[in-house]
């Protein structure tokens, strides 16, 4: 999963960023394993874009789509783009002692 955090510079850039974020959503509907857009209640104007790439836990680095989105949103203010992987539960045969 990739997380793109956008903190717009001012109110005008906030409106532009929010409009661009809405345009990312296919038909205005968030779909599983694709893209979600969130806004922060405590930090008015801040936007988080969650980009799900499906079950690829071994993959490292950023997707082309994520890089393009981060680049587009960089014109609105500060952008942080990070890549996340889900933590898997350890099993007894992977170093965890049986209980």
Task: Report pLDDT digits (tens) over 15-63.
Answer: 889 888 888 876 544 444 678 889 888 888 899 999 887 655 555 678 8
**Residues 64-74 pLDDT 10s:** 888 889 999 99
DSSP string for residues in 2-58: EEEEEEESSHHHHHHHHHHHHHHSGGG--BTTTEEEEE-SSSTT-EEEEE---S-TT
Q: What is the pLDDT of residue 54?
A: 65
Q: How many CB atoms lie within 10 A of CB 66?
A: 21
Q: What is the pLDDT of residue 31?
A: 46
pTM: 0.71
Whether residue 10 has pLDDT greater than 80:
yes
Integer Rg of the chain from CA? 17
pLDDT at 32: 44
| Architecture (CATH level 2) of domain 2-85 | 2-Layer Sandwich (3.30)
Ramachandran angles phi, psi of 66, nearest 5°: -60, -40
What are the pLDDT digits (tens) for 82-93? 998 888 887 766
Tracing tokens 């993959």 back to the chain, one arrives at: 59
Longest dimension (CA), the chain: 58
What's the pLDDT score for residue 80?
A: 95
């Amino acid at each position: 999963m990739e997380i793109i955090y956008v903190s717009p510079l001012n109110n005008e850039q906030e409106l532009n960023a929010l409009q661009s974020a809405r345009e990312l959503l296919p038909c205005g509907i968030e779909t599983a394993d694709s893209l979600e857009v969130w806004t922060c209640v405590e930090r008015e104007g801040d936007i988080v874009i969650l980009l799900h790439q499906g079950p690829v836990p071994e993959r490292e680095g950023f997707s082309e789509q994520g890089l393009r989105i981060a680049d587009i949103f960089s014109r609105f203010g500060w952008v942080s783009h990070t890549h996340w992987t889900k933590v898997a539960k350890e099993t007894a045969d992977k170093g965890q002692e049986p209980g």
